[in-house]
């Protein structure tokens, strides 16, 4: 603890002496964290949109023409009693025709010319959130089969693609984030190594007067941490600007596709994680340099 005031002062002095290196490092850290934050924010919002779409995964059970209302009601009660089922909605032939007419602009006028309604009535079975994996949906669809159903549709391909896309997106986020963090650590390590080389005469004097190992190392560790923190704060400012001037504009342009809710910024936990990541990569990069350089090992 007795070295802290000196180490902090020496760290700031070192950054002021080599402003170009300090600015370059802070800019590089800010760029890396900006890319990571943008990717996380994009993936988070995209996952939210896909989750809303995923909640619409349902199994449509089309009913025979000759079924009576009592039989339909009994079927609805029977399906609703299943643990995997969240809700069951009866859609009459007339409602099915109206929904189809509203789904495409101008289709209602075309359907009005039909002599009879070709669409069957159906039971729309919405599954509980815990039962929307592709294999679960396929298994539940098989268990729902009844003689009263002339056909069933549960968009099996869409369910599989939905979950595959989410898995690949999360994996790519992990891989990209790891590569960017490693590159940032490498950059800071080389910057601190240059700073150590530039101060080799000063460190030689420290060894001659009996300076301890931590007395020599702490200024560089603080320098790395400060640069990482500064880069993180700059990235947060840039993320705010990106959110207000790009993400919200995207929301206006793709309102129907993205849904009614506003695109979300990073959570408090996410912002804190970015700051900690900045300090962490600064410390790790600095530590990598000081432990390998003989000048900081009196």
Reported as type and span, the H/E element at residue 167 is helix 156-198
User: Residues 135, 262: one domain?
Assistant: no
Mean pLDDT of the chain: 77
Do 131 and 181 fall within a single domain?
Answer: no
Evaluate whether 287 touches 222 at the Cβ level (below 8 Å): no
| The domain boundary residue, chosen from 123, 154, 185 | 154
**What is the domain range of residue 79?**
58-154
Distances (CA, A) of 277 to 36, 232, 274, 289: 10, 8, 5, 18
Average pLDDT over residues 193-216: 68
Same domain, 48 and 185: yes
Work out the burial of residue 84: count CB atoms within 10 Å of its CB; fewer than 13 is exposed, 13-18 middle, 19 or more buried.
Answer: middle
pLDDT band at 53 (very low <50, low <70, confident <90, very high): low
What would the two tokens of residue 231 be? 């880069």
State the Cα–Cα distance between residues 225 and 82, nearest whole angstrom: 56
Is residue 119 located within the same domain as residue 244?
no
- Shared domain for 47 and 76, answered yes or no, is no
Q: Domain check: are 281 and 189 in the same one?
A: yes
Q: Structurally, how many domains does the chain consist of?
A: 2
Tens of pLDDT, residue by residue over 156-190, are 666 667 667 777 877 887 888 788 778 878 878 87
Which residue, of 154, 172, 199, is where some domain finishes?
154
Whether residues 264 and 172 fall in one domain: yes
Q: Mean of the pLDDT values across residues 84-101?
A: 80
Per-residue confidence (pLDDT) for residue 256, from 0 to 100: 43
Same-domain pairing of 70 and 48:
no
Are both 45 and 167 inside the same structural domain?
Answer: yes
Say yes or no: 252 and 202 in one domain.
yes
Name which of 146, 100, 103 is nearest 123 in CA terms: 146
CA distance 161 to 179: 27
DSSP string, 56-112: T-EEEEEEPTT--HHHHHHHHHHHHTSTTEEEEEEE-HHHHHHHHHHHSTTHHHHHT
Is the separation of the CB atoms in 97 and 51 below 8 Å?
A: no
- Pick from 154, 189, 208: which residue ends a domain? 154
**Residues 180, 283 share a domain:** yes
Torsion angle in degrees (nearest 10) through CA of 152, 157, 158, 160? 120
Same domain, 175 and 287: yes
DSSP for 260-295? SSPPP---HHHHHHHHHHHHHHHHHHHHHHHTT-GG
The pLDDT-based confidence of 232 (bands split at 50, 70, 90) is very high
Phi-psi category of 92—alpha, beta or left, where left has phi over 0 and alpha has psi -120 to 50? beta
Give me 93's structure tokens: 């032939």
Give residue 50's pLDDT band: very low, low, confident or very high (50, 70, 90).
Answer: low
Tell me the C-alpha distance between 247 and 130, whole Å. 31
Q: Is the pLDDT of residue 45 over 80?
A: no
- By CB atoms closer than 10 A (0-12, 13-18, 19+), residue 290 is buried
- CA dist 138 and 124 (Å) reads 15
**The predicted structure's pLDDT at residue 209:** 63
Q: Is 192 in contact with 220 (CB distance < 8 Å)?
A: yes
The mean pLDDT of 24-39, rounded to a whole number, is: 86
Quick check: 269 pLDDT over 80?
yes
Give the 3-state secondary structure of residue 149.
Answer: strand
Nearest Cα neighbor of 71 from 2, 147, 160 is: 147
Query: 50-59, 120-129, 229-238 — which one is most confidently predicted on average?
Result: 229-238
The CATH number linked to 80 is 3.30.70.3040
At residue 148 the predicted structure's pLDDT band, cuts being 50, 70 and 90, is confident
């Amino acid at each position: 603890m007795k070295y802290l005031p000196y180490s902090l002062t020496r760290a700031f002095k070192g950054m002021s002496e080599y402003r170009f290196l300090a600015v370059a490092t802070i800019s590089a850290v800010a760029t890396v964290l900006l890319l990571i934050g943008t990717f996380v924010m994009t993936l988070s919002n995209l996952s939210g949109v896909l989750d809303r779409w995923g909640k619409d995964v349902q199994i449509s059970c089309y009913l025979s023409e000759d079924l009576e209302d009592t039989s339909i009601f009994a079927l609805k009660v029977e399906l609703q009693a299943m643990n995997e089922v969240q809700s069951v909605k009866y859609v009459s032939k007339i409602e099915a025709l109206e929904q189809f007419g509203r789904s495409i602009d101008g289709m209602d006028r075309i359907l009005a010319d039909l002599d009879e309604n070709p669409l069957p009535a159906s039971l729309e079975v919405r599954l509980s959130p815990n039962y929307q994996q592709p294999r679960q949906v396929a298994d539940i669809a098989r268990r729902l089969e009844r003689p009263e159903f002339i056909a069933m549709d549960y968009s099996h391909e869409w369910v599989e693609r939905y979950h595959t896309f989410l898995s690949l997106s999360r994996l790519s986020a992990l891989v990209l984030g790891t590569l960017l963090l490693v590159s940032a650590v490498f950059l800071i390590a080389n910057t601190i190594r240059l700073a150590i080389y530039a101060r080799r005469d000063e460190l030689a004097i420290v060894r001659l007067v009996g300076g301890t190992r931590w007395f020599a190392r702490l200024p560089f560790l603080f320098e790395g941490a400060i640069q990482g923190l500064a880069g993180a704060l700059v990235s947060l400012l840039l993320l705010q600007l990106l959110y207000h001037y790009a993400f919200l504009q995207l929301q206006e342009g793709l309102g129907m596709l993205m849904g009614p809710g506003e695109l979300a910024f990073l959570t408090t936990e996410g912002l804190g994680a970015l700051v900690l990541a900045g300090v962490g990569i600064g410390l790790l990069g600095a530590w990598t340099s000081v432990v390998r350089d003989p000048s900081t090992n009196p």
